[in-house]
Amino acid sequence: MNKFAIAVAAVLTGCAGVPATANLPLGVVDMTPLPAWSYPHRSGPLNKREMAMARMAWQYFQNNYQSETGLVNAVNDYPSTTMWDTASYLGALVAARELEIIEKTQFDTWLVNLLKTFTTLDLFRGEMPNKAYHTKTAKKVDYGNNPGEIGFSALDLGRLLLWFKIIKERYPEHGNAIDRVVLRWDFRNTIDKTGTLFGAAVNKEKKTEYLQEGRLGYEEYAAKGFQLWGFNTTRASMPEPFNMIHIYGVKVPYDTRDPRMFSQHNYVVSESYVLDGIELNWDHPYDRSTDDKKHSQRWMENFAHRVYQAQENRFREAGILTARSEHQLDRAPYFVYDTIYSTGYTWNTITDTGQHVPEMAAIALKAALGMWAVWQSPYTDLLFDAIVDAYDPKKGYYEGIFENGTGPIKAQTANNNGIMLASLLFKVQGKLLKWGPVDGGLWESTNADPFAENSKGRPVFVRRSNQLSDPSRGSLMPRIFGPTNILKALGRAPDTAESCFTCEDQRFKDYSPSWQVRPR
Protein backbone atom coordinates (compact mmCIF):
# COMPACT_ATOMS: atom_id res chain seq x y z
CA MET A 1 0.00 0.00 0.00
CA ASN A 2 2.68 2.51 0.93
CA LYS A 3 4.71 2.40 -2.29
CA PHE A 4 1.49 2.61 -4.30
CA ALA A 5 0.41 5.71 -2.41
CA ILE A 6 3.83 7.34 -2.84
CA ALA A 7 3.81 6.74 -6.58
CA VAL A 8 0.25 8.04 -6.96
CA ALA A 9 0.97 11.23 -5.06
CA ALA A 10 4.20 11.82 -6.88
CA VAL A 11 2.20 11.76 -10.10
CA LEU A 12 -0.56 13.76 -8.37
CA THR A 13 -15.76 -2.92 25.95
CA GLY A 14 -16.71 -6.32 27.02
CA CYS A 15 -19.38 -6.20 29.81
CA ALA A 16 -19.38 -2.92 31.70
CA GLY A 17 -16.17 -2.52 33.61
CA VAL A 18 -12.81 -4.20 33.18
CA PRO A 19 -12.54 -7.02 30.60
CA ALA A 20 -11.90 -10.47 32.01
CA THR A 21 -8.46 -11.99 31.65
CA ALA A 22 -9.79 -15.08 29.88
CA ASN A 23 -8.33 -15.75 26.44
CA LEU A 24 -5.60 -13.12 26.82
CA PRO A 25 -2.16 -14.14 25.55
CA LEU A 26 0.74 -14.65 27.87
CA GLY A 27 2.35 -11.33 28.70
CA VAL A 28 -0.81 -9.30 29.28
CA VAL A 29 -0.59 -9.17 33.04
CA ASP A 30 -1.49 -5.55 33.79
CA MET A 31 -5.26 -5.35 34.10
CA THR A 32 -5.31 -1.91 35.71
CA PRO A 33 -8.62 -0.35 34.63
CA LEU A 34 -8.39 2.17 31.81
CA PRO A 35 -11.11 4.74 31.11
CA ALA A 36 -11.45 3.31 27.56
CA TRP A 37 -12.85 0.07 28.94
CA SER A 38 -15.91 1.89 30.23
CA TYR A 39 -16.63 3.82 27.04
CA PRO A 40 -19.50 2.28 25.05
CA HIS A 41 -19.53 2.37 21.28
CA ARG A 42 -21.85 4.89 19.70
CA SER A 43 -25.22 3.62 18.58
CA GLY A 44 -28.38 5.05 17.09
CA PRO A 45 -29.52 6.88 13.96
CA LEU A 46 -27.25 9.47 12.39
CA ASN A 47 -28.08 13.05 13.18
CA LYS A 48 -28.12 15.79 10.54
CA ARG A 49 -24.38 16.55 10.79
CA GLU A 50 -23.42 12.89 10.70
CA MET A 51 -25.63 12.19 7.70
CA ALA A 52 -24.13 15.17 5.88
CA MET A 53 -20.70 13.70 6.62
CA ALA A 54 -21.73 10.37 5.10
CA ARG A 55 -23.00 12.04 1.94
CA MET A 56 -19.81 14.08 1.60
CA ALA A 57 -17.64 10.96 1.98
CA TRP A 58 -19.73 9.20 -0.69
CA GLN A 59 -19.04 12.09 -3.08
CA TYR A 60 -15.50 10.73 -3.44
CA PHE A 61 -16.80 7.46 -4.87
CA GLN A 62 -19.29 9.15 -7.18
CA ASN A 63 -16.34 11.08 -8.64
CA ASN A 64 -13.89 8.19 -8.92
CA TYR A 65 -16.02 5.26 -10.05
CA GLN A 66 -14.89 3.74 -13.36
CA SER A 67 -17.87 2.35 -15.27
CA GLU A 68 -15.63 0.37 -17.64
CA THR A 69 -14.48 -1.95 -14.84
CA GLY A 70 -16.48 -1.20 -11.70
CA LEU A 71 -13.23 -0.28 -9.95
CA VAL A 72 -12.70 2.96 -8.04
CA ASN A 73 -9.55 5.10 -8.02
CA ALA A 74 -7.58 4.71 -4.78
CA VAL A 75 -6.59 8.39 -4.96
CA ASN A 76 -8.70 11.17 -6.45
CA ASP A 77 -8.48 11.42 -10.24
CA TYR A 78 -5.70 8.84 -10.53
CA PRO A 79 -6.75 5.61 -12.33
CA SER A 80 -5.08 2.98 -10.16
CA THR A 81 -6.05 0.93 -7.11
CA THR A 82 -5.07 -1.87 -4.74
CA MET A 83 -7.03 -4.70 -3.15
CA TRP A 84 -7.04 -2.91 0.22
CA ASP A 85 -8.54 0.19 -1.37
CA THR A 86 -11.04 -1.95 -3.26
CA ALA A 87 -12.16 -3.42 0.08
CA SER A 88 -12.57 0.11 1.44
CA TYR A 89 -14.70 0.91 -1.60
CA LEU A 90 -16.88 -2.15 -0.92
CA GLY A 91 -17.35 -0.93 2.64
CA ALA A 92 -18.38 2.47 1.31
CA LEU A 93 -20.79 0.87 -1.16
CA VAL A 94 -22.49 -1.15 1.59
CA ALA A 95 -22.67 1.91 3.86
CA ALA A 96 -24.12 4.08 1.09
CA ARG A 97 -26.84 1.50 0.46
CA GLU A 98 -27.63 0.83 4.13
CA LEU A 99 -27.75 4.55 4.94
CA GLU A 100 -30.03 5.05 1.92
CA ILE A 101 -27.66 7.40 0.15
CA ILE A 102 -28.06 5.25 -2.98
CA GLU A 103 -30.83 2.96 -4.23
CA LYS A 104 -30.56 -0.82 -4.36
CA THR A 105 -30.44 -0.61 -8.16
CA GLN A 106 -27.24 1.44 -8.10
CA PHE A 107 -25.75 -0.82 -5.44
CA ASP A 108 -26.44 -3.93 -7.52
CA THR A 109 -25.22 -2.38 -10.75
CA TRP A 110 -21.92 -1.20 -9.29
CA LEU A 111 -21.29 -4.46 -7.42
CA VAL A 112 -22.11 -6.68 -10.40
CA ASN A 113 -19.85 -4.58 -12.60
CA LEU A 114 -16.97 -5.01 -10.15
CA LEU A 115 -17.50 -8.77 -9.75
CA LYS A 116 -17.69 -9.17 -13.52
CA THR A 117 -14.22 -7.62 -13.75
CA PHE A 118 -12.90 -9.87 -10.98
CA THR A 119 -14.08 -13.03 -12.78
CA THR A 120 -11.64 -12.31 -15.60
CA LEU A 121 -9.00 -10.36 -13.68
CA ASP A 122 -5.47 -11.24 -14.76
CA LEU A 123 -3.83 -12.63 -11.62
CA PHE A 124 -0.22 -12.27 -10.57
CA ARG A 125 1.47 -15.24 -12.25
CA GLY A 126 -1.83 -17.12 -12.15
CA GLU A 127 -2.03 -17.08 -8.35
CA MET A 128 -3.62 -14.08 -6.64
CA PRO A 129 -4.66 -10.52 -7.57
CA ASN A 130 -1.71 -8.25 -8.30
CA LYS A 131 -0.87 -5.48 -5.82
CA ALA A 132 -2.14 -2.79 -8.20
CA TYR A 133 -4.46 -2.47 -11.21
CA HIS A 134 -5.35 0.27 -13.66
CA THR A 135 -8.94 1.19 -12.85
CA LYS A 136 -9.97 1.98 -16.43
CA THR A 137 -8.58 -1.19 -18.03
CA ALA A 138 -8.27 -3.61 -15.07
CA LYS A 139 -4.76 -4.41 -16.27
CA LYS A 140 -1.94 -5.25 -13.88
CA VAL A 141 0.32 -2.29 -13.18
CA ASP A 142 3.30 -1.36 -11.03
CA TYR A 143 3.28 1.42 -8.46
CA GLY A 144 3.89 3.99 -11.19
CA ASN A 145 0.74 2.73 -12.97
CA ASN A 146 2.85 1.27 -15.76
CA PRO A 147 1.96 -2.15 -17.20
CA GLY A 148 3.51 -4.97 -15.21
CA GLU A 149 3.08 -7.26 -12.25
CA ILE A 150 4.73 -6.70 -8.89
CA GLY A 151 3.37 -9.38 -6.56
CA PHE A 152 0.47 -9.63 -4.16
CA SER A 153 -0.26 -8.54 -0.59
CA ALA A 154 -1.74 -11.05 1.87
CA LEU A 155 -2.85 -8.17 4.11
CA ASP A 156 -4.72 -6.47 1.29
CA LEU A 157 -6.33 -9.76 0.25
CA GLY A 158 -7.34 -10.57 3.82
CA ARG A 159 -9.25 -7.28 4.02
CA LEU A 160 -10.84 -7.93 0.62
CA LEU A 161 -11.92 -11.44 1.68
CA LEU A 162 -13.46 -9.98 4.83
CA TRP A 163 -15.58 -7.54 2.82
CA PHE A 164 -16.52 -10.22 0.30
CA LYS A 165 -17.82 -12.25 3.27
CA ILE A 166 -19.72 -9.29 4.71
CA ILE A 167 -21.46 -8.75 1.37
CA LYS A 168 -22.20 -12.47 0.93
CA GLU A 169 -23.93 -12.55 4.30
CA ARG A 170 -25.86 -9.29 3.84
CA TYR A 171 -26.78 -9.80 0.19
CA PRO A 172 -26.86 -13.58 -0.50
CA GLU A 173 -28.12 -12.96 -4.02
CA HIS A 174 -24.52 -11.99 -4.85
CA GLY A 175 -22.95 -14.88 -2.96
CA ASN A 176 -22.25 -17.27 -5.81
CA ALA A 177 -20.74 -14.51 -7.96
CA ILE A 178 -18.34 -13.68 -5.13
CA ASP A 179 -17.55 -17.37 -4.65
CA ARG A 180 -16.64 -17.73 -8.32
CA VAL A 181 -14.15 -14.90 -7.92
CA VAL A 182 -12.39 -16.47 -4.93
CA LEU A 183 -12.44 -19.98 -6.46
CA ARG A 184 -10.09 -18.67 -9.16
CA TRP A 185 -7.37 -17.83 -6.66
CA ASP A 186 -4.44 -20.10 -5.83
CA PHE A 187 -3.70 -19.97 -2.10
CA ARG A 188 -0.81 -22.43 -1.96
CA ASN A 189 1.87 -19.76 -1.61
CA THR A 190 -0.24 -17.39 0.50
CA ILE A 191 -0.80 -19.53 3.59
CA ASP A 192 1.49 -22.32 4.78
CA LYS A 193 0.72 -25.31 7.01
CA THR A 194 1.45 -23.32 10.18
CA GLY A 195 -1.12 -20.69 9.23
CA THR A 196 1.42 -17.99 8.35
CA LEU A 197 0.50 -15.35 5.75
CA PHE A 198 2.86 -14.65 2.85
CA GLY A 199 2.93 -11.89 0.30
CA ALA A 200 4.73 -12.05 -3.04
CA ALA A 201 7.26 -9.73 -4.66
CA VAL A 202 9.36 -9.75 -7.80
CA ASN A 203 13.12 -9.47 -7.28
CA LYS A 204 15.73 -7.93 -9.56
CA GLU A 205 16.04 -11.20 -11.45
CA LYS A 206 12.28 -11.12 -12.12
CA LYS A 207 11.79 -14.14 -9.89
CA THR A 208 9.00 -14.42 -7.35
CA GLU A 209 9.87 -14.18 -3.67
CA TYR A 210 7.36 -15.14 -0.97
CA LEU A 211 7.83 -13.25 2.28
CA GLN A 212 5.98 -13.42 5.59
CA GLU A 213 3.69 -10.41 5.76
CA GLY A 214 2.14 -8.52 8.65
CA ARG A 215 2.90 -7.22 12.11
CA LEU A 216 0.86 -6.97 15.31
CA GLY A 217 -2.58 -5.53 14.62
CA TYR A 218 -2.69 -5.71 10.83
CA GLU A 219 -1.54 -9.34 10.68
CA GLU A 220 -4.27 -10.65 12.98
CA TYR A 221 -6.91 -8.46 11.34
CA ALA A 222 -6.07 -9.71 7.85
CA ALA A 223 -5.95 -13.30 9.12
CA LYS A 224 -9.60 -13.03 10.10
CA GLY A 225 -10.50 -12.41 6.47
CA PHE A 226 -8.91 -15.72 5.51
CA GLN A 227 -10.45 -17.50 8.51
CA LEU A 228 -13.92 -16.47 7.40
CA TRP A 229 -13.35 -18.57 4.28
CA GLY A 230 -12.21 -21.61 6.24
CA PHE A 231 -8.43 -21.19 6.13
CA ASN A 232 -6.10 -22.07 8.97
CA THR A 233 -4.29 -18.91 10.15
CA THR A 234 -3.01 -20.23 13.47
CA ARG A 235 0.37 -18.53 13.34
CA ALA A 236 -0.84 -15.27 11.79
CA SER A 237 -3.66 -15.03 14.33
CA MET A 238 -1.34 -15.18 17.33
CA PRO A 239 -0.33 -11.81 18.82
CA GLU A 240 3.05 -13.18 19.86
CA PRO A 241 5.81 -12.07 19.73
CA PHE A 242 4.92 -8.80 21.44
CA ASN A 243 5.86 -6.65 24.38
CA MET A 244 4.51 -3.56 26.11
CA ILE A 245 5.91 -0.04 26.28
CA HIS A 246 4.74 2.66 28.70
CA ILE A 247 3.26 5.65 26.86
CA TYR A 248 1.51 8.34 28.90
CA GLY A 249 0.72 5.89 31.67
CA VAL A 250 -0.55 3.13 29.38
CA LYS A 251 1.16 -0.14 28.51
CA VAL A 252 0.87 -0.21 24.71
CA PRO A 253 1.50 -3.48 22.83
CA TYR A 254 3.99 -3.64 19.99
CA ASP A 255 5.48 -6.34 17.77
CA THR A 256 8.97 -7.32 18.92
CA ARG A 257 10.25 -8.62 15.57
CA ASP A 258 13.32 -6.52 14.83
CA PRO A 259 12.90 -4.45 11.61
CA ARG A 260 16.69 -4.55 11.13
CA MET A 261 16.49 -8.32 10.83
CA PHE A 262 13.16 -8.80 9.03
CA SER A 263 12.97 -5.58 6.94
CA GLN A 264 9.46 -4.79 8.20
CA HIS A 265 8.70 -1.96 10.59
CA ASN A 266 6.54 -2.65 13.66
CA TYR A 267 4.07 0.21 13.30
CA VAL A 268 1.54 0.77 16.09
CA VAL A 269 -1.37 2.75 14.65
CA SER A 270 -5.12 2.99 15.17
CA GLU A 271 -6.38 1.66 11.85
CA SER A 272 -6.25 -2.11 12.26
CA TYR A 273 -7.76 -1.99 15.75
CA VAL A 274 -10.55 0.34 14.60
CA LEU A 275 -11.34 -1.83 11.58
CA ASP A 276 -11.43 -4.97 13.72
CA GLY A 277 -13.81 -3.15 16.06
CA ILE A 278 -16.31 -1.81 13.53
CA GLU A 279 -16.28 -4.78 11.17
CA LEU A 280 -15.89 -7.67 13.61
CA ASN A 281 -16.60 -6.21 17.08
CA TRP A 282 -13.24 -7.58 18.32
CA ASP A 283 -14.80 -11.03 18.07
CA HIS A 284 -13.49 -14.36 16.87
CA PRO A 285 -14.34 -14.64 13.17
CA TYR A 286 -17.00 -17.35 13.56
CA ASP A 287 -18.71 -15.69 16.53
CA ARG A 288 -22.41 -15.36 15.65
CA SER A 289 -23.46 -13.54 18.79
CA THR A 290 -25.54 -10.42 18.23
CA ASP A 291 -24.51 -8.78 21.50
CA ASP A 292 -22.10 -6.04 20.43
CA LYS A 293 -21.36 -5.17 24.05
CA LYS A 294 -19.43 -8.40 24.49
CA HIS A 295 -16.23 -9.22 22.63
CA SER A 296 -15.08 -12.82 22.26
CA GLN A 297 -11.48 -12.03 21.27
CA ARG A 298 -10.58 -10.46 24.58
CA TRP A 299 -6.91 -9.82 23.85
CA MET A 300 -7.81 -7.83 20.73
CA GLU A 301 -10.26 -5.75 22.74
CA ASN A 302 -7.61 -5.23 25.42
CA PHE A 303 -4.97 -4.11 22.94
CA ALA A 304 -7.38 -1.79 21.13
CA HIS A 305 -8.30 0.00 24.36
CA ARG A 306 -4.62 0.52 25.11
CA VAL A 307 -3.90 1.99 21.68
CA TYR A 308 -6.86 4.35 22.08
CA GLN A 309 -6.07 5.34 25.65
CA ALA A 310 -2.48 6.35 24.87
CA GLN A 311 -3.82 8.85 22.33
CA GLU A 312 -6.43 10.31 24.66
CA ASN A 313 -3.82 10.61 27.41
CA ARG A 314 -1.44 12.41 25.05
CA PHE A 315 -4.09 15.06 24.50
CA ARG A 316 -4.77 15.36 28.23
CA GLU A 317 -1.10 15.76 29.11
CA ALA A 318 0.40 17.45 26.03
CA GLY A 319 -2.66 19.18 24.58
CA ILE A 320 -2.25 17.57 21.13
CA LEU A 321 -5.37 16.18 19.47
CA THR A 322 -4.22 12.75 18.36
CA ALA A 323 -5.63 10.14 15.96
CA ARG A 324 -2.67 8.31 14.46
CA SER A 325 -2.62 6.07 11.40
CA GLU A 326 -0.79 5.64 8.12
CA HIS A 327 -1.88 8.33 5.70
CA GLN A 328 -1.43 9.95 2.33
CA LEU A 329 0.20 13.36 1.89
CA ASP A 330 -0.28 16.09 -0.70
CA ARG A 331 3.49 16.73 -0.88
CA ALA A 332 6.76 14.85 -0.60
CA PRO A 333 7.30 12.22 0.83
CA TYR A 334 3.63 11.63 -0.15
CA PHE A 335 2.94 8.81 2.33
CA VAL A 336 3.88 8.20 5.98
CA TYR A 337 3.33 5.80 8.81
CA ASP A 338 2.16 8.15 11.54
CA THR A 339 2.59 5.95 14.57
CA ILE A 340 2.02 5.78 18.29
CA TYR A 341 5.19 3.69 18.43
CA SER A 342 7.60 2.19 15.92
CA THR A 343 11.25 1.19 15.64
CA GLY A 344 12.02 2.13 19.23
CA TYR A 345 10.39 5.59 19.36
CA THR A 346 7.03 6.89 20.53
CA TRP A 347 5.00 9.21 18.30
CA ASN A 348 7.28 8.33 15.42
CA THR A 349 6.28 9.58 11.96
CA ILE A 350 8.33 7.80 9.29
CA THR A 351 8.39 6.93 5.61
CA ASP A 352 8.47 3.36 4.34
CA THR A 353 12.27 3.59 4.31
CA GLY A 354 12.37 4.72 7.94
CA GLN A 355 13.08 8.43 7.36
CA HIS A 356 11.91 10.52 10.33
CA VAL A 357 9.45 13.25 9.23
CA PRO A 358 7.76 14.61 12.39
CA GLU A 359 6.40 17.64 10.53
CA MET A 360 4.06 15.28 8.65
CA ALA A 361 2.25 14.08 11.78
CA ALA A 362 -1.50 14.54 11.43
CA ILE A 363 -4.95 13.77 12.75
CA ALA A 364 -5.95 11.03 10.30
CA LEU A 365 -9.65 11.51 9.59
CA LYS A 366 -10.34 7.77 9.19
CA ALA A 367 -8.72 7.10 12.58
CA ALA A 368 -10.49 10.02 14.25
CA LEU A 369 -13.96 9.04 13.05
CA GLY A 370 -13.32 5.35 13.70
CA MET A 371 -12.29 6.17 17.27
CA TRP A 372 -15.38 8.38 17.60
CA ALA A 373 -17.61 5.45 16.57
CA VAL A 374 -15.96 2.80 18.74
CA TRP A 375 -15.31 4.88 21.89
CA GLN A 376 -18.06 7.29 22.96
CA SER A 377 -16.15 9.79 25.07
CA PRO A 378 -15.66 13.55 25.49
CA TYR A 379 -12.29 13.15 23.76
CA THR A 380 -13.74 11.61 20.61
CA ASP A 381 -16.42 14.34 20.62
CA LEU A 382 -13.51 16.79 20.26
CA LEU A 383 -12.05 14.71 17.43
CA PHE A 384 -15.37 14.77 15.59
CA ASP A 385 -15.66 18.54 15.90
CA ALA A 386 -12.08 18.92 14.63
CA ILE A 387 -12.67 16.93 11.43
CA VAL A 388 -16.33 17.38 10.50
CA ASP A 389 -15.68 20.32 8.16
CA ALA A 390 -12.37 19.10 6.69
CA TYR A 391 -13.55 18.45 3.16
CA ASP A 392 -13.69 19.76 -0.37
CA PRO A 393 -17.40 19.98 -1.27
CA LYS A 394 -16.69 18.68 -4.76
CA LYS A 395 -14.23 15.89 -3.87
CA GLY A 396 -14.97 14.49 -0.42
CA TYR A 397 -13.04 14.42 2.84
CA TYR A 398 -9.39 15.33 3.16
CA GLU A 399 -6.90 12.74 4.33
CA GLY A 400 -6.05 14.52 7.57
CA ILE A 401 -5.20 17.69 9.46
CA PHE A 402 -1.57 18.41 10.32
CA GLU A 403 -0.80 18.39 14.04
CA ASN A 404 1.49 21.43 13.66
CA GLY A 405 -1.39 23.72 12.74
CA THR A 406 -0.58 24.16 9.05
CA GLY A 407 -4.01 23.01 7.90
CA PRO A 408 -5.49 20.01 6.11
CA ILE A 409 -3.79 17.42 3.93
CA LYS A 410 -5.51 18.30 0.67
CA ALA A 411 -5.65 14.80 -0.75
CA GLN A 412 -8.69 12.54 -1.02
CA THR A 413 -8.54 8.73 -0.98
CA ALA A 414 -10.86 5.74 -1.19
CA ASN A 415 -9.44 4.26 2.00
CA ASN A 416 -10.09 7.36 4.09
CA ASN A 417 -13.57 8.10 2.78
CA GLY A 418 -14.49 4.42 2.78
CA ILE A 419 -13.51 3.86 6.41
CA MET A 420 -15.36 7.02 7.39
CA LEU A 421 -18.55 5.72 5.78
CA ALA A 422 -18.15 2.31 7.40
CA SER A 423 -17.64 3.96 10.79
CA LEU A 424 -20.88 5.91 10.42
CA LEU A 425 -22.72 2.72 9.47
CA PHE A 426 -21.29 1.05 12.57
CA LYS A 427 -22.96 3.72 14.70
CA VAL A 428 -26.32 2.81 13.15
CA GLN A 429 -25.99 -0.97 12.95
CA GLY A 430 -23.13 -2.10 15.21
CA LYS A 431 -20.88 -4.93 14.04
CA LEU A 432 -20.80 -4.80 10.25
CA LEU A 433 -20.47 -8.56 9.72
CA LYS A 434 -24.12 -9.60 9.95
CA TRP A 435 -24.74 -13.30 9.55
CA GLY A 436 -27.39 -13.91 6.89
CA PRO A 437 -30.07 -16.56 6.31
CA VAL A 438 -28.09 -18.57 3.72
CA ASP A 439 -25.56 -20.98 5.21
CA GLY A 440 -22.99 -21.93 2.61
CA GLY A 441 -22.89 -21.64 -1.13
CA LEU A 442 -20.75 -22.42 -4.15
CA TRP A 443 -17.50 -22.00 -2.17
CA GLU A 444 -18.43 -24.57 0.45
CA SER A 445 -20.14 -27.06 -1.87
CA THR A 446 -17.29 -26.99 -4.42
CA ASN A 447 -14.71 -27.55 -1.72
CA ALA A 448 -16.80 -30.38 -0.25
CA ASP A 449 -17.04 -32.23 -3.57
CA PRO A 450 -14.56 -35.16 -3.62
CA PHE A 451 -14.68 -35.17 -7.42
CA ALA A 452 -13.94 -31.47 -7.84
CA GLU A 453 -10.37 -30.36 -8.43
CA ASN A 454 -8.85 -28.77 -5.34
CA SER A 455 -5.20 -28.21 -6.12
CA LYS A 456 -5.11 -24.54 -5.10
CA GLY A 457 -4.70 -24.87 -1.35
CA ARG A 458 -8.37 -24.33 -0.53
CA PRO A 459 -9.91 -25.75 2.66
CA VAL A 460 -12.09 -28.86 2.59
CA PHE A 461 -15.69 -28.70 3.79
CA VAL A 462 -18.21 -31.28 4.91
CA ARG A 463 -21.89 -30.93 5.72
CA ARG A 464 -22.78 -31.76 9.27
CA SER A 465 -25.59 -34.05 8.11
CA ASN A 466 -23.03 -36.27 6.34
CA GLN A 467 -20.85 -36.80 9.39
CA LEU A 468 -20.57 -39.41 12.09
CA SER A 469 -20.74 -37.55 15.36
CA ASP A 470 -19.09 -38.91 18.46
CA PRO A 471 -18.81 -36.37 21.29
CA SER A 472 -15.80 -38.19 22.66
CA ARG A 473 -13.90 -38.14 19.38
CA GLY A 474 -15.06 -34.98 17.68
CA SER A 475 -16.64 -34.82 14.24
CA LEU A 476 -14.99 -36.95 11.58
CA MET A 477 -15.45 -37.71 7.92
CA PRO A 478 -17.63 -40.84 7.42
CA ARG A 479 -15.57 -44.00 7.05
CA ILE A 480 -17.90 -45.73 4.61
CA PHE A 481 -18.80 -42.83 2.34
CA GLY A 482 -15.66 -40.76 2.78
CA PRO A 483 -14.19 -39.14 -0.35
CA THR A 484 -11.08 -41.31 -0.24
CA ASN A 485 -13.08 -44.53 -0.27
CA ILE A 486 -15.15 -43.24 -3.17
CA LEU A 487 -12.00 -42.42 -5.10
CA LYS A 488 -10.58 -45.85 -4.32
CA ALA A 489 -13.70 -47.52 -5.66
CA LEU A 490 -13.30 -45.57 -8.88
CA GLY A 491 -9.61 -46.38 -9.12
CA ARG A 492 -8.70 -42.73 -8.63
CA ALA A 493 -7.30 -42.83 -5.09
CA PRO A 494 -4.25 -40.65 -4.50
CA ASP A 495 -0.91 -42.44 -4.47
CA THR A 496 0.28 -41.05 -1.14
CA ALA A 497 -1.32 -39.90 2.06
CA GLU A 498 0.27 -36.47 1.64
CA SER A 499 -1.53 -35.84 -1.63
CA CYS A 500 -4.87 -36.95 -0.20
CA PHE A 501 -6.67 -33.73 0.59
CA THR A 502 -9.90 -35.38 1.83
CA CYS A 503 -8.69 -38.50 3.60
CA GLU A 504 -11.16 -39.88 6.14
CA ASP A 505 -10.66 -39.61 9.87
CA GLN A 506 -9.32 -36.11 9.61
CA ARG A 507 -10.72 -33.84 12.28
CA PHE A 508 -13.00 -31.09 11.05
CA LYS A 509 -13.64 -27.83 12.87
CA ASP A 510 -16.84 -25.85 13.27
CA TYR A 511 -17.38 -23.37 10.47
CA SER A 512 -21.11 -22.61 10.47
CA PRO A 513 -24.36 -24.22 11.63
CA SER A 514 -24.42 -26.49 8.57
CA TRP A 515 -20.75 -26.88 7.72
CA GLN A 516 -17.46 -27.99 9.19
CA VAL A 517 -14.06 -27.36 7.66
CA ARG A 518 -10.62 -28.91 7.56
CA PRO A 519 -8.09 -26.26 6.53
CA ARG A 520 -5.29 -27.31 4.22
Per-residue pLDDT for 18 more than 80?
A: no
Same domain, 182 and 35: yes
Contact 446, 452 (CB under 8 A): yes
Kindly report, residue by residue over 497-508, the tens digit of the pLDDT: 333 333 333 568
End residue of a domain, out of 365, 395, 429? 429
Round to whole Å and give the CA distance between 296 and 281. 9
Q: What letter would DSSP give residue 41?
A: P
Same domain, 220 and 346: yes
Identify whether the C-beta of residue 38 lies closer than 8 Å to the C-beta of residue 190.
no
pLDDT in tens, 393-442: 999 999 999 999 999 999 999 999 999 999 999 999 999 999 999 999 99
Q: Would you state the pLDDT for residue 264?
A: 67
For the chain, give the percent of residues with pLDDT over 70.
84
pLDDT of 14: 32
For residue 361, tell me if it sits in a domain: yes
pLDDT of amino acid 479:
30
Q: Are residues 384 and 460 in the same domain?
A: no
More confident of the two residues 363 and 257: 363
For residue 441, is it within any domain? no
Residues 472 and 417 in one domain: no
Asked if residue 436 is part of any domain, the answer here is: no
Check whether residue 309 and residue 171 sit in a common domain: yes
Per-residue pLDDT tens over the stretch 35-87: 999 999 999 999 999 999 999 999 999 999 999 999 999 999 999 999 999 99
Do 399 and 468 belong together in one domain?
A: no
The 10s digit of each residue's pLDDT in 329-360 is 999 999 999 999 998 999 999 998 889 999 99
Whole-prediction pTM:
0.88
Q: How many CA atoms lie within 13 A of 178 on its CB side?
A: 23
DSSP string, 95-137: HHHHTTSS-HHHHHHHHHHHHHHHHSPPPBTTTB--S-EETTT
> Of 364, 399, 429, which closes a domain?
429
Band of pLDDT at residue 12, cut at 50, 70 and 90: very low
Q: Is residue 438 part of a domain?
A: no
Among the three residues 396, 429, 462, which one is the final residue of a domain in this structure? Answer: 429
Determine how β-strand 151-152 pairs with β-strand 198-202.
antiparallel
Per-residue confidence (pLDDT) for residue 420, from 0 to 100: 98
CB 96 within 8 A of CB 148: no
226 in any annotated domain: yes
464 with 350, same domain: the answer is: no
198 and 341 co-located in one domain: yes
**pLDDT grade for 470, boundaries at 50, 70 and 90:** very low
Residue 435 lies in a domain: no
The total of structural domains in the chain comes to: 2
pLDDT tens-digit map of 115-144: 999 999 999 999 999 999 999 999 999 999
Instruction: Mark whether 105 and 35 lie in a shared domain.
Output: yes
| Any domain includes 19 | yes
- Look at residues 29, 195, 161, 189 and name the one whose alpha carbon lies nearest to residue 90: 161
Report residue 258's pLDDT band, with 50, 70 and 90 as the boundaries.
Answer: confident
Say how far apart CA 82 and CA 152 lie, in whole Å.
Answer: 10
CATH code at position 260? 1.50.10.140
Q: How far is the C-alpha of 76 from the C-alpha of 67, rounded, in Å?
A: 15
Residue 466 has pLDDT above 90, yes or no: no
Q: Is 444 inside any structural domain?
A: no
The pLDDT-based confidence of 450 (bands split at 50, 70, 90) is: confident
Quick one: 321 and 377 in the same domain?
yes
The answer, yes or no, to whether residue 96 has pLDDT greater than 70, is yes
Across the chain, mean pLDDT equals 88
Instruction: Indicate the pairing of strand 242-247 with strand 345-346.
Output: unpaired
- Determine the structural domain holding residue 194 and report its residue range: 2-429
Q: Are residues 196 and 310 in the same domain?
A: yes
